Amino acid sequence: MGFKILVTEPIAQAGIDVFEQHGSRVDVRLGASPEELAEVIGGYDALIVRSATKVTKQLIDAAPRLKIVGRAGVGVDNIDIDAASEAGVLVCNAPESNLVSAAEHTMALMMAAARKIPQASARMKEGAWERTPFVGRELYDKTLAIFGLGRIGGLVAKRAAAFGMHLIGYDPYCHQDRADSLGVDLVADMDEVLARADFVTVHLPRTAETLGMFGRDEFQMLKPGAIVVNTSRGGIYDIDALADALRDGQVAACGIDVWEEEPCYTSPLHELPNAVITPHLGAATIEAQTRAGVQIAEYVSAGLEGSIVPTSINMAPVPPEVFDLLGPYTPAVQALAHLLAQISPDVPRKITVTAAGTIANADLTVLVAGALSGFISADEDRVTAVNVDEVAKRHGIKVERTSRIDAEEYASFVEIAADGRRAACTLAGAGQKLRIINLLGYKIDIMPQQHSLIFVYHDGPGRMGTIGTILGDAGISITTMQIGTRADSTNALVYMNVDREVPASVLDRLGRALVLKGLWYIRL
């Protein structure tokens, strides 16, 4: 049975399709009140929102099954991150979905403000033909000050350069190499940046430091007649101070897309003819909405399936190089741990995760989280990568991580040891499928399926015939099989994939017909 996903705001159908391709059931409830959401959220594994739904502590507390909240967009101001973390709920977003759209909207506002396009359009629709009031300014050969040279700021820099603008930047966290690659003159003194700017655009998060960052003093430092734009977050410009600067001509025009309180129906800028204002349209393109829906569906599905979520908000960020190396291993390790947990149901006192070969030098945090999830998930209502360490401590599990360069005949593998029981896996083929290469010390090489049987017995003639007969009588077919041996034992281990669930009565018959050291039915 797949996961249940609740979507409370519109996302692209392509995103819904991704969930369904992963076998999840999607329910869309648009416009539900907080009370209505609290009544139904308890039945869902994941919640998908945009900016309107408030994911409060009360809503999270009403959702015992909830494992992950996905924001189909960038900002997560509407989600109580602390409450989610406390409950072990992962929060992720789709930060790259609207990058191009936001950068293009920045340029659109800059052009509209500089060329007075909205005002001219409005006058023509009133029946007038006037040109003199709408004489504008070129972007060419002007200086654009970019505050914040992150992903969107960098895209704006590239587009502004194509217009022949001179680029200066202010970003204490930007490395000089990045500024150089963008053709931006990085200036550490904010006052100097303001004094040189013909145009200003901000691409900053809303924090205690950036709230009200541009007030009366900053606007007065600009060249007279400068044009300012904001498509990042409301509150970075003091709107009252900006309105005064627009009235007295210190600032010639502005383009504002974001507001301190949204929706915003009135402000000092609403009455000013030289203010171009839009209702937070930075991400409002068909392409951005499709990307946001697809990306958040992929990330949430990965999180539900135990894999890495690269955009998780309440976990340490996963560097791209680590994600590329370990991302495919995470669900494999979780499955391997779940297998060991079925062989020995007791929660282990000590777990050791060892990475070998090409992954030996990677940060193993994500693999440890996957292994712990595999061992503990059956015992806990909700275990995620957010709270897995805390749960491990609560169960008294000691966790160790080791690495080794030698991966024998494999490029890489991961081994899990749990109270002495060991299993190792690698990934194979274009699909990076899990292959078990060692189990309980027996060397094998098999791709596990949903239903499997594991036998350990003293090898001898007729054993496999007996097993085949009993399974055949029950209508159970063997799909693939591997026999493993170990140098220090005369016993053999058989890993057998079968096509359906094995009832307890069949397991009992197998146990009575054979002298077994171990028999386990595994379901992955």
Q: Are residues 70 and 214 in the same domain?
A: no
Q: Mapped to the 3 state alphabet, what secondary structure does 98-167 carry?
A: CHHHHHHHHHHHHHHHHHCHHHHHHHHHCCCCCCHHHCCCCCCCCEEEEECCCHHHHHHHHHHHHCCCEE
CA angle, residues 172, 175, 178, in degrees to nearest 5: 125
Q: Are residues 90 and 103 in the same domain?
A: no
- Of the residues 36, 39, 130, 262, which is catalytic? 262
Q: How far apart are CA 277 and CA 191, in angstroms?
A: 26
Q: Are residues 70 and 105 in the same domain?
A: no
Q: Are residues 221 and 369 in the same domain?
A: no
Q: How far is CA 500 from the centre of its chain?
A: 34
Q: Is 280 considered catalytic here?
A: yes
Confidence (pLDDT) at 322: 67
Q: Would residue 247 count as lying in a domain? A: yes
Q: How confident is the model at residue 123 (pLDDT cuts 50, 70, 90)?
A: very high
Confidence (pLDDT) at 379: 46
**Percentage, residues of the chain above pLDDT 90:** 70
Q: How far apart are CA 336 and CA 173, in angstroms?
A: 41
Q: Are residues 233 and 262 in the same domain?
A: yes
Average pLDDT of the chain is 91
Q: Would residue 311 count as lying in a domain? A: no
Q: Is 262 considered catalytic here?
A: yes
- Which of 421, 439, 457 is where one domain is finished? 439
Confidence (pLDDT) at 167: 98
Q: Are residues 49 and 78 in the same domain?
A: yes
Residues 6+ away with beta carbon under 8 Å from 329:
359, 367, 370, 414, 427
Q: Would residue 214 count as lying in a domain? A: yes
Q: Are residues 104 and 91 in the same domain?
A: no
Query: Dihedral of the CA atoms 173, 175, 176, 182 (nearest 10)?
Result: -100
Q: Would residue 312 count as lying in a domain? A: no
Q: Would residue 194 count as lying in a domain? A: yes
- Which is higher by pLDDT, 385 or 149? 149
Local structure of 28: helix, strand or coil: strand
Question: What does 183-212 look like in DSSP terms, one character per residue?
Answer: T-EE-S-HHHHHHH-SEEEE-----TTTTT
CA angle, residues 447, 453, 459, in degrees to nearest 5: 100
Mean pLDDT of 401-411: 91
- Which is higher by pLDDT, 395 or 205? 205
- Of the residues 50, 233, 338, 435, which is catalytic? 233
Amino acid at 3: F
Q: State the CATH number of the domain containing residue 492.
A: 3.30.70.260
Mean pLDDT of 182-202: 97
- Which is higher by pLDDT, 88 or 279? 279
Q: Are residues 251 and 130 in the same domain?
A: yes
Q: How far apart are CA 503 and CA 306, in angstroms?
A: 28
- Which is higher by pLDDT, 123 or 315? 123
Diameter over CA atoms, the chain: 101
Q: Would residue 313 count as lying in a domain? A: no
Question: What does 417-454 look like in DSSP terms, one character per residue?
Answer: EETTEEEEEEEETTTTEEEEEEETTEEEEE---SEEEE
Tokens standing for residue 387: 């709270």
What global pTM score does this model have? 0.66
Mean pLDDT of 332-349: 89
Beta carbons of 94 and 299 less than 8 angstroms apart: yes
Q: State the CATH number of the domain containing residue 130.
A: 3.40.50.720
Domain count, the chain: 4
Instruction: Please give the backbone phi and psi of residue 147, each rounded to the nearest 5 degrees, phi first.
Output: -95, 105
Q: Would residue 282 count as lying in a domain? A: no
Q: Is 216 considered catalytic here?
A: no
Q: Would residue 309 count as lying in a domain? A: no
Mean pLDDT of 108-125: 97
Mean pLDDT of 358-384: 73
Q: State the CATH number of the domain containing residue 326.
A: 3.30.1330.90
- Of the residues 196, 280, 382, 421, which is catalytic? 280
Q: Mapped to the 3 state alphabet, what secondary structure does 78-109 carry?
A: CECHHHHHHHCCEEEECCCCCHHHHHHHHHHH
Q: How far apart are CA 68 and CA 91, in angstroms?
A: 6
> Could you list the residue range(s) of the whole structural domain that residue 143 is in?
99-277
Q: What are the angstrom distances between the C-alpha of 360 and each of 271, 322, 404?
A: 62, 11, 6
Q: Are residues 215 and 108 in the same domain?
A: yes
Q: Are residues 260 and 294 in the same domain?
A: no
Q: Are residues 253 and 110 in the same domain?
A: yes
Local structure of 457: helix, strand or coil: strand
Q: Are residues 15 and 56 in the same domain?
A: yes
Confidence (pLDDT) at 381: 46
Beta carbons of 418 and 375 less than 8 angstroms apart: yes
